Chain A
Amino acid sequence: MIRLVDVNKSFGQKEVLRHINLTINDGETLALIGGSGSGKSTLLRLMIGLIQPTSGEIWIDDDEISHYDEAQMDKVRVRMGMVFQYSALFDSMTVGDNVAFGLREHTDYDEEKIRSIVSEKLGLVGLTDVEDMMPNELSGGMKKRVGLARAIAFEPSTIFYDEPDSGLDPVTTEKIDELIISMQKRLNVTSIVVTHDMETACFVADRIAMVYEGELIACAPVDEFRRMKDERIRAFLRGLYIGDKEAEG
């Protein structure tokens, strides 16, 4: 379970997140939505410990990680996987080496076992015979799949997706969304999906949380979220993201 208690984050004088309280249950898929610059990616980076909050508590199961150093955080991160917005594949390594990275770093598995896990995970995301290809030979959708295979290679209990559909065509977007659901069902992982695409959020999530100008203004199951009357949410549902002033006006 992931739990955020009164989390604040500032960069210098700029307050990016204010008083965030949020609980994500085991096995749940939560979509974090919001416009560009609303703070949703910052929230994701806080949960995975890439940055530390200015104040507040972040609980990952029994670990309160808000003041963990890198060595302590590494012990928590082995239970997590992340799919990056632009895949973040290691461009000096083959696809197979990318997926095998965590296994080689943190296990004593022999090469044969590692290769078999790599093939299995690539198979799970619908890719075969790509182990020897370099990331620059792959399409955007394939890179996202390899990123997902790399994230699940270590069998994490939580997967974070940062804008998984960004830069993809509608057909590939749908395939990636289906993969997110399939991963949740097959591996029973907790998934946190950051997106600004309402369609993706409604399709993959059990609950949707909306971040607006650094505040968490709503968190509810998909159907309930759709029925909310808040004008800022209505605007987002209509596909119109509006700024503070417009909403107030």
Chain B
Amino acid sequence: MEHFLEKLGSAVIKWLQYIGEVVLLFVETLRQMKKPLRIHHMFAQMAHLGVDTLPIVGLTLLFTGMVMTLQVAHEFIRFGAQSTIGGVITIAVGRELGPVLVGVVAAGRVGAAITAEISTMKVTEQIDALRVMATNPVGYLVVPRMLACMFMVPVLTIFGDFIGVVGGWFVAVFRSGISSYLYWHSITMFVEAYDITGGLIKSVVFGIIIAVLGCYCGLKAPNGAEGVGLATTRSVVSAIIMIFCANCFLSLILYQ
């Protein structure tokens, strides 16, 4: 029992230390943002991290919207509520599915790329080279990536939301026989702007989580090729868990 408690205590301390260090990196990133921004780097990161993720986000949300409509349309028709399907799908996608799925896809695609790049720089002494050349690695590497993710994850979410709703429309009209007018009309009837903007607020937070965790794991990567792999796995897993946790709290705050 004593041994178990020791292990538990040690795990909790390690976890708290991990969270603490990530928060410190976030604070340092905010501090570095006071200095002149490297706009060119930020746009390069936005193109690299955001645009490349667009096709995966499109496919994910397209199929999610289609499957969701497939599952609910039959039941809604049974209860005579087919006139609400478009609105329900849009609310679900806009509030939860869009931001969360885009967050998870971006964590896998963008977070992994950030960690792999920064950890490789670390093991090849490029981070030390930055420091030796009087350039703060947080300002040079983390700030542009965090800003890029803060802007690009919401943009990807808007795109994903739209594709998800179109996927739902496709199944509703061509599989379940609901009229196209009814589908779009229900969206205008039931959906409020906050259903979408709330989701976008979430996606800004998810973008920050993905970038900061990705950079943190890269900067703390153990040496060697194995270290790069370990850091990348750790970054993706932690970001996905943190996105789900943050989503729960954000839903409570934004929609209650």
Contacts and interface: CB of A to CB of B under 8 A. Distances in A.
Interface residues of A, number: 24
B179 interface: no
B136 A91 contact: no
A136 to B, nearest CB: 11
How many B residues touch the partner, as a band? 10 to 19
Interface string A81-109: 11011101111000000000110011000
Interface in B124-145: 124-126, 128-129, 131-136
Contact of A88 (B124, B134, B135): B124
* Interface of A (DSSP majority class): mixed
Contacts of B126: 88-91
Interface in A37-87: 48, 50, 70-71, 74-75, 77-78, 80-82, 84-86
B125 A88 contact: yes
Contacts of A86: 124-125
A154 B134 CA distance: 11
B124 A105 contact: no
Nearest to A84: B125
Contacts of B132: 48, 50, 77, 80-82
A150 B128 CA distance: 14
Contacts of A89: 126, 129
Contacts of A50: 128, 131-132
Interface of B: 121, 124-126, 128-129, 131-136
18 contacts: A70-B131, A71-B136, A74-B134, A74-B135, A74-B136, A77-B132, A77-B133, A81-B132, A82-B129, A84-B128, A86-B125, A90-B121, A90-B126, A90-B129, A91-B124, A105-B133, A105-B134, A150-B133
Q: In the A-B complex, list the 10 residue pairs whose CB atoms are closest, starting with the nearest.
A: A88-B125, A74-B134, A88-B129, A77-B134, A82-B132, A102-B133, A78-B134, A84-B125, A88-B126, A105-B135
